[in-house]
């Protein structure tokens, strides 16, 4: 096999996001006139057949196209109609990609996806991650065109260019989080973990993807596809209200919604335990609205209940509670102080976050006893470290793993600049990684240095829930860490991008269980404490975390609701997750 110019033929694109014009050009490539042959495969199927058969037909068509000399295969669902149902684009892409890999044909052809399905950054990332070389989200373009129609509409071309740029920027950020610098390296890398899908489905269409839970199969996916198709092509089509990122009364169920927020606020204001129980029931009862992994678990015990007087008293239990390390700057000063005051009064703990803490709060009830050391080292001084009861090394954040922080310049006022030793009005960036930690040995050195700065403080290493976290937790124990913190994917303040909150990270239930089991298996469990956070709201959440192995429990987004705010104002369900006004404003 000798190399020749034929082996160097490539169709080079500036972006993995294709315009309609670029896609049309690729589809019309003819081997007799061009250097490449393109084949367009129909990614839809007849309602009389089933989804599994349709995918098999698509796979057969792809192999046949390669045998006929195709260099590029375009998977297209433009044939969608009342008589043709579209195959979900990710399922089609993963199915064809892995079938070609199994037949040794994948390197013979490039895959382009032309679909109305993708519309968000995560959709683009998964399609590229499972083998697509380029994606044309044509329905998103049509939607933008409709929005721009009319004399007062924006320029259509500029709007579409802005949308493409947003997709490209989002994909670039995802790649950066993973330490990947080229789309070619990200393509087909499958750097994902599945939650809620059956292992049979993963093995067949997304082989090699990490999965630790079971879930729905192809039959449930087909039911959903057919339901959507029936609605879309019915006699009176009506678009459903998704409410993916914000609560909508008829959309996807959100645990934080006006009813749960309002009930919680009434409970903490009045001190009415019955109102709190109403709130807890709304959160814990997931028979109608499945929301969390822990909601699928039931308590199973064959022991007789003990008298409540024999149970650890409340004032001791709450000493295991803490508020999450949300930084001063992402939280208003009032909210940041409220967290510290409340936790100090009940004997719990509060975290500073990575923005430091005003020295004048030290040795007062406004002081946070958990001082965080993050990549930006904002506010980290010898005084800061020596005042801590616990020092937390933030390796990553559950709501946005792999991402750093960004505090806009307009939020960097005189007080923030003073605490962070920066310049007022100048934005602050926290790098995604800690640039002095690239190995467990580097982490051990930082733990040693922090213990030297404050021998009396425990050192806490904050990690995110992910596959393999058990091994990392064991490394933290061997590096002489006192606490390993498992941060889950739920929660996040307004400083966390909504796409990251929605699509990155994993539930803390998986991380806590794996870390606990690995530490027990390696004989290290008695050397280290496990703490966790990520959407905790009720006593049942705490009980589940305790049974899985956690010893302390951290409340983040929930804390403004649980605390009686000093000025008597409230937080609405809409604004609760983004409690980060630059002036300390709150919604009345």
Q: Which pair of tokens denotes residue 271?
A: 């001190």
Q: Between 504 and 395, name the one with better pLDDT.
A: 395
pLDDT for 575 equals 38
Please name the CATH architecture into which domain 310-578 falls.
Alpha-Beta Barrel (3.20)
- Please report which helix (H) or strand (E) contains residue 350, including its range: strand 349-350
Euclidean distance between the first and the last CA atom of the chain, given in angstroms as a whole number: 74
Q: What is the bridge-based pairing of β-strands 458-464 and 390-394?
A: parallel
| Helix ranges restricted to H, 153-272 | 156-177, 183-186, 199-205, 218-232, 258-270
Token reading at 151? 């004399």
C-alpha 405/C-alpha 331 separation (Å) is 13
Rounded CA gap, 405 and 433, in Å? 11
pLDDT surpasses 60 at 415: yes
Determine the pLDDT at residue 565: 38
| Tokens at 35, concatenated | 């250097």
Asked if 132 contacts 89 with a C-beta cutoff of 8 angstroms, the reply is no
Range with the poorest average pLDDT among 73-77, 127-131, 241-245: 241-245
d(C-alpha 515, C-alpha 364), whole Å = 35
Residues 247 and 127: their CA atoms lie apart, in Å, by 27
Q: Mean pLDDT lowest for which of 75-79, 297-301, 400-404, 460-464?
A: 400-404
3-state secondary structure of 330: coil
Confidence of residue 500 (pLDDT cuts 50, 70, 90): confident
Side-chain half-sphere CA neighbours of 221 within 13 A:
20
Alpha-carbon gap, residue 236 to 131, rounded angstroms: 37
The mean pLDDT value for 157-174 works out to 94
Average pLDDT over residues 241-261: 82
The per-residue pLDDT for 33 is 73
Would you kindly state where each structural domain of the chain is located, as residue ranges? 5-232, 310-578
Cα–Cα distance between 452 and 431 in angstroms, integer? Answer: 25
Residue 340's pLDDT is 94
Kind of pairing between the strands at 210-211 and 193-194: parallel
pLDDT tens profile 521-567:
999 999 999 999 988 999 999 999 999 999 999 998 887 655 543 33
Query: What is the spatial distance between Cα 375 and Cα 432, in angstroms, rounded to a whole number?
Result: 7
Q: Is the pLDDT of residue 199 over 90?
A: yes
Among 296, 300, 292, 508, CA closest to 397: 508
Confidence of residue 588 (pLDDT cuts 50, 70, 90): very low
Tens of pLDDT along 296-337? 888 888 888 899 999 999 999 999 999 988 888 778 888 899
Least-confidence region, from 13-17, 51-55, 283-287:
283-287
Whether 463 and 402 have beta carbons less than 8 Å apart is answered as no
pLDDT of residue 387: 95
What are 322's strand-pairing partners? 349, 554
Report pLDDT for 208.
94
pLDDT for 75: 97
Structure confidence at residue 475 (pLDDT):
96
Among the ranges 228-242, 279-293, 448-462, which has the highest mean pLDDT value?
Answer: 448-462
Is the per-residue pLDDT at 487 higher than 60?
yes
Q: Are 244 and 121 within 8 A, CB to CB? A: no
Residue 424 confidence (pLDDT) above 60: yes
Q: Spell out the CATH class of 5-232.
A: alpha beta
Residue 584 has pLDDT above 70, yes or no: no
- pLDDT surpasses 60 at 476: yes
Of the CA atoms within 13 Å of residue 60, those in its CB half-sphere come to 6
Q: Are 563 and 542 in contact (CB under 8 A)?
A: no
Q: Is residue 569 predicted with pLDDT exceeding 60? A: no
* Percent of the chain scoring above 70 in pLDDT: 93
Percent of the chain exceeding pLDDT 90 equals: 63
Q: What is the mean pLDDT of residues 119-126?
A: 94
Which class for 311: exposed (0-12), middle (13-18), buried (19 or more C-beta within 10 A)? exposed
How long, in residues, is the chain? Answer: 588
Q: Is the pLDDT of residue 87 over 80?
A: yes
Question: What is the average per-residue pLDDT within 472-488?
Answer: 95
Three-class secondary structure of residue 58 per DSSP: helix
Confidence band, pLDDT 50/70/90 cuts, at residue 587: very low
d(CA 445, CA 479): 8
Q: Which of 402, 431, 428, 555 is nearest to 493 (CA)?
A: 555
Average pLDDT over residues 367-372: 95
**Which residues, in sequence order, are CB contacts of 20 under 8 Å at separation 6+?**
136, 138, 141
Residue range 388-405, pLDDT digits in tens: 999 999 998 877 777 777
Q: Mean pLDDT over all residues of the chain? A: 88
Beta pairing partners, 351: 370
pLDDT band at 568 (very low <50, low <70, confident <90, very high): very low
What does R_g of the chain's alpha carbons equal in angstroms?
Answer: 26
Do 5-232 and 310-578 have matching folds?
A: yes
- From the CB of residue 460, how many other CB atoms can be counted at a distance below 10 Å? 28
Is 389 strand, coil or helix?
coil
Closest Cα to residue 96, out of 50, 55, 125?
55
């Amino acid at each position: 096999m000798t190399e020749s110019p034929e082996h160097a033929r490539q169709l080079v694109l500036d972006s993995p996001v294709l315009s309609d014009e670029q896609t049309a050009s690729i589809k019309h490539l003819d081997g007799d006139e061009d250097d490449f042959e393109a084949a367009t495969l129909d990614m839809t199927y007849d309602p009389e057949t089933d989804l599994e058969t349709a995918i098999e037909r698509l796979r057969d068509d792809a192999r046949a196209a390669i045998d006929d000399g195709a260099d590029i295969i375009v998977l297209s669902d433009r044939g969608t109609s009342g008589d043709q149902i579209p195959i979900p684009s990710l399922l089609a892409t993963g199915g064809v990609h892995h079938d070609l890999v199994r037949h040794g044909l994948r390197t013979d052809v490039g895959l382009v996806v032309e679909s109305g399905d993708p519309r968000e950054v995560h959709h683009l990332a998964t399609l590229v991650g499972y083998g697509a070389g380029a994606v044309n989200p044509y329905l998103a373009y049509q939607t933008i065109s409709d929005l721009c129609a009319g004399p007062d509409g924006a320029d259509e071309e500029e709007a579409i260019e802005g949308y493409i740029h947003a997709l490209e920027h989002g994909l670039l950020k995802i790649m950066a989080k993973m330490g990947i610098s080229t789309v070619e390296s990200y393509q087909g890398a499958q750097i994902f973990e599945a939650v809620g899908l059956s292992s049979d489905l993963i093995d067949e269409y997304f082989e090699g993807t990490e999965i630790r839970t079971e879930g729905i199969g192809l039959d449930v996916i087909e039911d959903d596809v057919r339901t959507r198709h029936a609605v879309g092509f019915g006699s009176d089509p009506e678009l459903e209200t998704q409410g993916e990122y914000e609560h909508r009364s008829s959309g996807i169920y959100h645990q934080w919604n006006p009813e749960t927020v309002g009930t919680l606020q009434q409970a903490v204001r009045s001190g009415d335990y019955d109102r709190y129980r109403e709130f807890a029931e709304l959160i814990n009862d997931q028979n109608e609205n499945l929301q969390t992994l822990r909601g699928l678990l039931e308590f199973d015990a064959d022991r007789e209940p003990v008298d409540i007087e024999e149970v650890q008293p409340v004032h001791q239990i709450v000493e295991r509670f803490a508020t999450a390390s949300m930084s001063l700057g992402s939280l208003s000063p009032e909210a940041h102080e409220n967290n510290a005051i409340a936790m100090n009064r009940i004997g719990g703990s509060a975290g500073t976050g990575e923005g430091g803490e005003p020295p004048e709060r030290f040795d007062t009830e406004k002081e946070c006893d958990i001082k965080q050391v993050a990549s930006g080292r904002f506010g980290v001084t010898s005084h800061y470290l020596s005042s801590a009861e616990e020092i937390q090394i933030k390796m990553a954040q559950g709501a946005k793993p792999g991402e750093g922080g960004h505090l806009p310049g307009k939020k960097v006022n005189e007080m923030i600049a003073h605490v962070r030793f920066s310049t007022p009005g100048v934005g602050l960036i926290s790098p995604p990684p800690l640039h002095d930690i690239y190995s467990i040995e580097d982490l051990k050195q930082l733990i040693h240095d922090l213990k030297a700065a404050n021998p009396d403080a425990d050192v806490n290493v904050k990690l995110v829930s992910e596959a393999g976290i058990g091994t990392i937790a064991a490394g933290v124990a061997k590096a002489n860490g006192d606490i390993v913190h498992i941060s889950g994917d739920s929660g996040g303040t307004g400083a966390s991008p909504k796409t990251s909150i929605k699509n990155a990270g994993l539930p803390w239930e998986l991380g806590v269980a794996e870390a606990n089991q690995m530490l027990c298996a390696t004989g290290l469990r008695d050397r280290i404490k496990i703490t966790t956070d990520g959407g905790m709201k009720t006593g049942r959440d705490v009980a589940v975390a305790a049974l899985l192995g956690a010893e302390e429990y951290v409340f983040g987004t929930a804390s403004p609701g649980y605390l009686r705010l000093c000025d008597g104002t409230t937080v609405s369900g809409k604004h609760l997750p983004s409690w980060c006004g630059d002036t300390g404003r709150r919604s009345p």
